Amino acid sequence: MNHRSLALLGALLLSTGLVACSSSGDGSGHASGDGSGGTAGARTVLDVWLMRDSVSAAFQKEFEAGFEKDHPAIDVKIQTQEWDGIGEKVTAALAGNDAPDVIEVGNTQVARYARSGGLTDFTDRVGELGGGSWLKGLAEPGAYDGRQYGIPYYAANRVVIYRTDLFREAGIDAGTIKTREQWLAATKKLDRGGTQGIYLPGQNWYALAGFIWDEGGDLAVESGGAWKGRLDSPEALRAMEFYRTLQALGKGPKDSDEAQPPQAEVMAEGRIAQIIAAPGGANVVMEKNPDLRGKLGFFPIPGKTATTPGAVFTGGSDLVVPAAAAQQEEAFTFLKELTGDAWQKKLALAMSYVPNRTTLAGAVASDPGAAAMAVGAANGRATPNTPEWAAVEAKNPIKDYMTAVLTGRDPKSEAAKASRSITDTLNSGS
């Protein structure tokens, strides 16, 4: 998942306390290729690229100190990278001979880099890294052609942010909403008396993707080396019908997404009972309307049954090691520590992230927003695992399809048209 996708998670980084000065690269750190890699005295220098705001300065300092205490022969040098232009920078690093030893990348970017042959294959070491309980939304896009290149780092996803006062006025206990039918019933009850039951823009295709996965469908599937768009499958059509029913219980625009206008700002301005967003959206709401402090809550997007939460798009990062990296074993040690239980618990609490494995969901129990994310993350997915998916998002026929259906056009024919566009785009680079 790239920075722009993260931005769509309701200002996730900006407003959940995830933004902090995370750079140690400006002065103390250094990039690979500046002649400082290798060993410092008897210590091996390990060059690491982490992305802006993925960790706070305090967490980074604590981790470096703890890691180097446990591994005194390794000198960790972390350089903070900016999201803008990172794709080209990583591609160049992988193609050269002076790549850093560890790089943080968006989870859905791994296939792009793995296809070039520039990443270290960790398939045979997944067990050592505790991969049996990794979140699928991080682990699956971290694999390419059946091999594991990306190691899950942290995750984030959408939840339902709701007005506790409006729910109380309507006599609704949010804690009892576990299924789609219960969610629809509650939303219908809320959608009256000047209150929108939900503000759902017509082009929130990430939410639609979750509904499609709930139905057992997908955005696209691969068979025999070729991809085929699947918005016209019976499962995807049922999901779109559910989306249309839910969207009608509010006044969300049919021809724009959650960023146009910013949905958290819309919620701050009126009596809107719910939005689908990352928990950070609540901070934006309260910032814009301080009267709503203490009046916002969270629950996981409901699924088709009470025992399984709704599927969600998993955003977040994986860690990769360039095949050309000089310090392969030291890099593996770094991965094992930062993605292991102890540091994952600390990272989740410090940054309000979802830990990288299902067994650690309890680590964020004290954070209501992160706890709701963690429930959904257990049923999280990623977009189709192909380097060409970025080109689909650039055109995004899914958005046009959704608007067409919501404005009264035939769902089957519009789905077939969008599916053909996805098919053509995904196979154009084969």
Instruction: Encode pLDDT of 1-25 as tens digits.
Output: 443 334 434 434 333 333 333 333 3
Q: What is the DSSP letter of 59?
A: H
Please, what's the b/e burial string for 60-72 (b: 16 or more CB within 10 A of its CB; e: otherwise)?
Answer: bebbbeebeeebe
Does the domain at residues 3-156+316-374 carry the CATH identifier 3.40.190.10? yes
Report the 10 Å Cβ neighbour count for 219. 24
More confident residue, 150 or 24: 150
Q: Which pLDDT belongs to residue 32?
A: 39
| Distance (Å, whole) CA 39 – CA 46 | 9
What is the rounded average pLDDT for all residues in the chain? 91
Contact between 319 and 122 under an 8 Å Cβ cutoff? The reply is no
| Tokens encoding 246 | 């839910």
Q: Which pLDDT belongs to residue 38?
A: 53
Does the domain at residues 159-312+384-427 carry the CATH identifier 2.70.150.10? no
Instruction: Encode pLDDT of 331-346 as tens digits.
Output: 999 999 999 999 999 9
Dihedral Cα 35, 41, 46, 52, nearest 10 deg: -70
171-184: average pLDDT = 98
Instruction: Encode pLDDT of 234-268 as tens digits.
Output: 999 999 999 999 999 999 999 999 999 999 999 99
CA dihedral over 130, 1, 354, 231, signed as positive or negative: negative
Q: Which pLDDT belongs to residue 16?
A: 34
CA of 113: how far to CAs of 74, 249, 364, in Å? 27, 42, 32
CA of 51: how far to CAs of 47, 151, 191, in Å? 13, 15, 41
Q: What angle do CA 244, 249, 254 make, to 5 degrees?
A: 50
Q: Note the Cα 47 to chain centre separation in Å.
A: 25
Instruction: Encode pLDDT of 184-227 as tens digits.
Output: 999 999 999 999 999 999 999 999 999 999 999 999 999 999 99
Q: Which pLDDT belongs to residue 41?
A: 60
Given the structure tokens 């239980």, which residue do they identify? 341
162-188: average pLDDT = 98
Task: Give yes or no for residue 322 having a pLDDT over 50.
Answer: yes
152-160: average pLDDT = 98
3-state secondary structure of 314: coil
| Distance (Å, whole) CA 292 – CA 299 | 17
Q: Which pLDDT belongs to residue 42?
A: 81
Q: Which pLDDT belongs to residue 97?
A: 87
Q: Note the Cα 276 to chain centre separation in Å.
A: 14
| Distance (Å, whole) CA 282 – CA 101 | 37
For the chain, residues classed under CATH 3.40.190.10 are: 3-156+316-374, 159-312+384-427
| Distance (Å, whole) CA 288 – CA 249 | 24
Report the 10 Å Cβ neighbour count for 118. 20
Given the structure tokens 């052609």, which residue do they identify? 145
Q: Which pLDDT belongs to residue 30?
A: 37
Identify the CA nearest to 71 among candidates 327, 419, 371: 327
Task: Give yes or no for residue 157 having a pLDDT over 60.
Answer: yes
